[in-house]
Amino acid sequence: MKAFVIAEHAEAASALAAGARTLADEVAVAVVGSEQVPANIADAAYHVAVPEGAAADDAAATLEALLDDVQVVIAEPVRHVKSIVGKLAAAKGASVITDCLSIEDGVATSMYFGGVGQIRRKAKSGIAFYTAGAGSFGDAQPSGSNAGAEELSWVAPAAALKLVSSEPIQKSGVDLNKSDVVVAAGRGFSEEADLDLARALCDKIGAGLGCSRPLAEGAGWMPSETYIGVSGLMLSPKVYIAAGISGQMQHMVGANRSGTVFAINKDQNAPIFKQCDYGLVGDLKDVLPKITEAL
């Protein structure tokens, strides 16, 4: 059995190569873009440099020829690679099972309706395609004897994208995965300035400030890398404090592994109150300053 790993980041390449080893006896890895394949993680390693003016998505045409003797493809769940692996699956008449939480004996578990359920699926035949995060394979360690990586020459597809510009996103530098205490702000914050109430609470207890997705996308008041939930961060802090968050499953799957969950919401019927340890029914504009003061 041969597995093929596709990643954009070296770290993901290592983690997925380790996972691939749990599924297959032969592992090949390809990294697309500016990062390199780490040594000693696979039996064969390839690198695809993306030419000036081309988009990484189009690396699929370069990689396709390498899949002939492959049974399993595991790809990093980032947008470039999701389009690469989608193109490869299309070429092979297959579908990709994306964002797998785990893969065992070819059966992948992933979220269904944002965490309302979990769905277990497998490929009926042919090559099985998956995308999976670094954490999907527990503490599996990569092994192999690759030194460098073979540089593949770019094959341009018929319908190519033209890359005009690429600007790095300025990140906030906040890594909520490292916070023991997280305060999460939701749409209950009606004005951006009110976020200062949550920031004051964070300062008092040394918490990191996160949010629900609408505050990052749509409102744009918070950086994208701070929204919590199925399509954002999956956290497990000691303490999680939700303010003005209704408690939809898509958000809560990112928070329900927290030690103790606190919630503040003005609607006593908000679903969050069924998923918290301690809840206060009240207006956050009134309640948050009182909590901060009493601490």
Residues that bind ligand FAD (CB under 6 A): 114, 186-188, 212-214, 227-232, 244-246, 248, 250-251, 264-267, 270, 283-285
Q: Which amino acid is at 72?
A: V
Give the Cα separation of 110 and 115 in Å (integer): 9
Which partner from the list ligand FAD, another protein, none does 208 bind, CB cut-off 5 to 8 Å by kind?
none
Q: For another protein, what does the binding mask look like between residues 153 and 172, x meaning CB under 8 A?
A: -----xxxxxxxxxxxx---
Residues 98 to 137: which contact another protein by CB under 8 A? 98-99, 107, 110-126
Least Å distance, CB 294 to ligand FAD, is 18
Least Å distance, CB 132 to another protein, is 13
| Segment lying near another protein (by CB under 8 A), choices 38-46, 96-104, 135-143, 188-196 | 96-104
Asked if 80 is part of the footprint of another protein (rule: CB under 8 A), the reply reads yes
Q: For another protein, what does the binding mask look like between residues 23 and 42, x meaning CB under 8 A?
A: --------------------
For residue 37, how far is the Cα from the chain centroid? Answer: 20
3-state secondary structure (DSSP) of residue 65:
helix
Residues 195 to 234: which contact another protein by CB under 8 A? 205, 213, 217-218, 220, 224, 230-231
Contacts of 168 (CB under 8 A, 6+ apart): none
Element at 18 (helix H, strand E)? helix 10-23
Which partner from the list another protein, ligand FAD, none does 256 bind, CB cut-off 5 to 8 Å by kind?
another protein
Residues 259 to 288: which contact another protein by CB under 8 A? 259-264, 268, 273-283, 286-287
Nearest residue (CB) to another protein, 93 versus 138: 93
Q: How far is CA 84 from CA 12, 20, 22, 273, 278, in A?
A: 15, 18, 23, 42, 45
Q: Which amino acid is at 241?
A: I
What are the backbone angles phi and psi of residue 247, rounded to the nearest 5°? 100, 30
**Are the C-beta atoms of residues 42 and 7 closer than 8 Å to each other?**
no
229's torsion region: left (phi>0), alpha (psi -120 to 50) or beta?
A: left
Give the Cα separation of 200 and 186 in Å (integer): 16
| Segment lying near another protein (by CB under 8 A), choices 64-72, 132-140, 188-196, 251-259 | 251-259
Least Å distance, CB 288 to another protein, is 10
- How many beta carbons lie within 10 A of that of residue 105, not counting itself? 7
Least Å distance, CB 140 to ligand FAD, is 26
